[in-house]
């Protein structure tokens, strides 16, 4: 069980995969579906340039909330502007920062957006004056016009989007093939062969940024890993992947997810995912330090680490026999919190897909994840996938 291709000699052709195993993760696909063309980037270089330039044109300040003045201009009655201390020109809130400001002062944003600007301004001004927090942190930028991009509490610990992109670039270069890490290829459903060599276009890229966030997904799919054999004797192939996200304006936390997977399809669903790990960092006061000392090193370690531990875990799980009779199988699952119905489904699924009743720890893990994929409700699916992960952890 080893790397199919040694370091420096990536595979040059599509290879067969079995996506009936492991988890299906749709997070990247959700991003892919929702991003318009102007939020899709063809390299990390171009993505970095975009988010770095907007950060360089931004300023932050902490001000007294009661010192902010709301104005509805007669020449633009549909838009509010804000006058903030030590700035000569007014700033226009973005849709996002308007919602943040409403939340901060306890005003219903959805309702205020339906009011004429003058009336909404009166309500907003009252909320700012009465704001018990007293101070707010503003993120302002000038790019053709002065905008207010974010309104947060004074202790908001901003991690800039370009800082995350730069951390990824240190291990992935431009993200299009100058290192092992790149935009993923595509699974051919007709042959079940995965092709890692796909031209990066607006349709295939997995590098995204909007005025609120960044999201990046990269893989090392030209160096597949053989972690055992399939029932028919073919190699069971995986490759490494990670995705990460951030919002410097506070729409989401910073996060990094690392995993092994077997394929990515055209709409960017991840198939056959194993060993999914996730780190989340809230933008609290010491968020930047946590990013520097926890998240970035974790990403670098995953990028450079050997797959030996992963392969060893899979091998051990395959070899560890935990049940030999029908009574043993049912008891093994029932003792770990599975209902009688779910236990029966797991056993039947392994029998149907593997051609034998589950015996090894790995058999049960694959059966549980297969049943999870059929759950209509996400909470039920995540619960079963979590149990499958705990089972696999028993092998390490």
pLDDT tens, position by position, 60-90: 889 888 888 888 765 554 578 888 888 878 8
Identify whether 241 is part of a domain. Answer: yes
Instruction: Examine the domain organization and report whether 48 and 67 are in the same domain.
Output: no
pLDDT tens for 141-169 read 876 678 889 988 888 889 999 999 999 99
> What's the mean pLDDT in 266-284?
89
Cβ atoms 391, 361 nearer than 8 A:
yes
Instruction: Examine the domain organization and report whether 215 and 301 are in the same domain.
Output: yes
Instruction: Examine the domain organization and report whether 42 and 76 are in the same domain.
Output: no
Identify whether 374 is part of a domain. Answer: yes
Identify whether 6 is part of a domain. Answer: no
Identify whether 152 is part of a domain. Answer: no
Q: Can you read off the two tokens belonging to residue 26?
A: 């749709």
Pairing mode, strands 263-264 and 270-281:
antiparallel
> What's the mean pLDDT in 213-225?
95
Asked if residue 191 has pLDDT above 70, the reply is: yes
Instruction: Examine the domain organization and report whether 48 and 68 are in the same domain.
Output: no
Identify whether 3 is part of a domain. Answer: no
Asked if residue 134 has pLDDT above 60, the reply is: yes
Instruction: Examine the domain organization and report whether 170 and 278 are in the same domain.
Output: yes
The CA distance from 149 to 93, in Å, is 7
pLDDT of residue 20: 84
Instruction: Examine the domain organization and report whether 195 and 218 are in the same domain.
Output: yes
Cβ atoms 149, 161 nearer than 8 A:
no
pLDDT of residue 388: 77
Instruction: Examine the domain organization and report whether 182 and 267 are in the same domain.
Output: yes
* Enclosing domain of residue 298: 15-53+159-306
Q: Which of 168, 369, 357 is nearest to 272 (CA)?
A: 369
Number of CB atoms found within 10 A of residue 49's CB: 14
Identify whether 108 is part of a domain. Answer: yes
The total number of structural domains in the chain stands at 3
Instruction: Examine the domain organization and report whether 185 and 266 are in the same domain.
Output: yes
Instruction: Examine the domain organization and report whether 40 and 68 are in the same domain.
Output: no
pTM over the 0.85 mark: no
């Amino acid at each position: 069980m080893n790397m199919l291709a040694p370091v420096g000699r990536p595979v040059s052709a599509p290879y067969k995969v079995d996506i009936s195993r492991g988890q299906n993760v749709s997070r990247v696909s959700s991003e892919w579906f929702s991003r318009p063309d102007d939020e899709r980037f063809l390299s990390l270089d171009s993505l970095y340039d975009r988010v770095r330039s907007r950060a360089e044109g931004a300023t932050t300040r902490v001000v007294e909330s009661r010192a902010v003045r709301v104005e509805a201009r007669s020449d633009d009655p549909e838009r509010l502007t804000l006058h903030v201390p030590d700035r000569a020109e007014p700033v226009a809130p973005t849709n996002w920062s308007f919602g943040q400001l409403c939340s901060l002062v306890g005003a219903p944003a959805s309702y205020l957006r339906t009011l004429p600007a003058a009336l909404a301004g009166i309500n907003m001004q009252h909320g700012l004056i009465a704001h018990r927090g007293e101070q707010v942190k503003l993120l302002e930028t000038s790019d053709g016009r002065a905008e207010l991009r974010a309104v947060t509490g004074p202790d908001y610990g901003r991690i800039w989007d370009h800082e995350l992109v730069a951390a990824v670039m240190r291990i992935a270069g431009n993200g299009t093939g100058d290192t092992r890490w790149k935009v993923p290829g595509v699974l051919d459903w007709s042959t079940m062969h995965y092709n890692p060599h796909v031209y990066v276009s607006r349709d295939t890229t997995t590098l995204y940024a909007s005025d609120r966030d960044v999201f990046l997904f990269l893989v090392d799919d030209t160096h597949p890993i053989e972690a055992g054999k399939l029932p028919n004797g073919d190699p069971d192939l995986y490759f490494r992947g990670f995705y990460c996200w951030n919002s410097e304006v506070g729409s989401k936390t910073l996060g990094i997810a690392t995993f092994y997977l077997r394929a990515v399809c055209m709409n960017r669903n991840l198939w056959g995912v194993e060993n999914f790990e996730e780190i989340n960092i809230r933008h609290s006061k010491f968020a930047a330090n946590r990013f520097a000392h926890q998240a970035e090193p974790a990403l670098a370690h995953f990028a450079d680490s050997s797959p030996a531990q992963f392969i060893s875990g899979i091998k051990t799980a395959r070899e560890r026999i935990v049940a030999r009779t029908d009574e043993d199988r049912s008891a093994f699952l029932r003792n770990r919190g599975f209902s009688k119905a779910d236990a029966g489904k797991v056993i039947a699924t392994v029998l149907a897909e593997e051609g034998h009743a589950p015996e090894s720890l790995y058999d049960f893990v694959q059966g549980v994840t297969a049943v999870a994929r059929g759950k209509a409700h996400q909470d039920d699916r995540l619960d079963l996938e979590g149990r499958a992960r705990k089972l696999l952890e028993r092998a390490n």
